């Protein structure tokens, strides 16, 4: 049967098989390219989403007011690029004396703009570690839940520069000569200036 084929018939048969093989290989390459393009598009979409989503973080900070006092704060801040709708903030443990009764109950159902923060004063001697959980969404209602372990005693062992005892007495004497309320105004302005730097 094969002996009846002429050389040109064999060439045509070989050409058909070669064309079929090239077509199959081309389809496989096209499918792999399409798969890679889909994966790349999905990765780009995820990267864009992560780059523009809100990131609500809970942490503590200590500020030196410059008038022989350190203030501690609990800070809730949106480090993301879009607004966050904060649904709830829950915590395990007991807060300091200032916030023990309030239990941060008002911190729910509010919006944090990008870069915006909300803070509350914490007792300067409060050093516990508290677990916080914040539940929030972006403006397209994508839900997020983050857990944070906040150590309020992280700065307790840090060394702050202090003036000598004589200088402290001189500073206290000068402070006592200032008009009533002046020290509080300077302290408040110093705290505001440090908050604006954050």
167-196: pLDDT as tens digits: 566 666 666 666 666 666 666 666 676 666
Q: Which residues of the chain have pLDDT under 70?
A: 1-3, 64-69, 158-191, 193-198
The verdict on 48 and 62 lying in the same domain is: no
Whether 3 is covered by a domain: the verdict is no
Whether 15 is covered by a domain: the verdict is yes
Pairing state between β 117-122 and 70-78: antiparallel
The verdict on 33 and 66 lying in the same domain is: no
Q: State pTM to two decimals.
A: 0.64
Distance between CA atoms of residues 55 and 142, nearest Å = 12
Pairing state between β 117-122 and 110-112: unpaired
The verdict on 60 and 138 lying in the same domain is: yes
The verdict on 13 and 76 lying in the same domain is: no
Predicted pLDDT of residue 172: 66
Give the bridge partners for 70, in sequence order. 64
Distance between CA atoms of residues 121 and 98, nearest Å = 8
| Domain with 14 in it | 9-52
The verdict on 96 and 167 lying in the same domain is: yes
Whether 4 is covered by a domain: the verdict is no
Whether 2 is covered by a domain: the verdict is no
* CA proximity to 64, closest of 130, 161, 136: 161
The verdict on 129 and 184 lying in the same domain is: yes
Report how many domains make up the chain. Answer: 2
* CA proximity to 107, closest of 122, 123, 85, 92: 85
């Amino acid at each position: 049967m094969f002996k009846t084929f002429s050389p040109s018939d064999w060439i045509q048969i070989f050409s058909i098989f070669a064309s079929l093989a090239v077509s199959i290989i081309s389809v496989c390459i096209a499918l792999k390219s399409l798969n890679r393009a889909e994966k790349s598009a999905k990765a780009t979409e995820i990267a864009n989403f992560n780059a523009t989503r809100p990131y609500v973080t809970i942490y503590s900070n200590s500020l030196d007011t410059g008038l022989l006092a350190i203030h501690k704060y609990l800070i809730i801040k949106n480090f993301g690029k879009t607004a966050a709708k904060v649904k709830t903030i829950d915590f395990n443990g007991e807060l300091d004396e200032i916030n023990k009764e309030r239990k941060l109950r008002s911190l729910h159902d509010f919006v944090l703009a990008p870069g915006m923060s909300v803070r509350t004063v914490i007792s300067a001697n409060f050093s516990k570690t508290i677990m916080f959980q914040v539940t929030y969404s972006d403006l397209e209602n994508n839900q997020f839940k983050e857990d944070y372990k906040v150590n309020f005693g992280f700065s307790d062992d840090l060394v702050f520069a202090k003036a000598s005892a004589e200088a402290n007495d001189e500073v206290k004497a000068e402070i006592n000569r200032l008009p009533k309320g002046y020290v509080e105004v300077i302290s408040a302005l110093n705290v505001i200036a440090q908050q604006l730097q954050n």
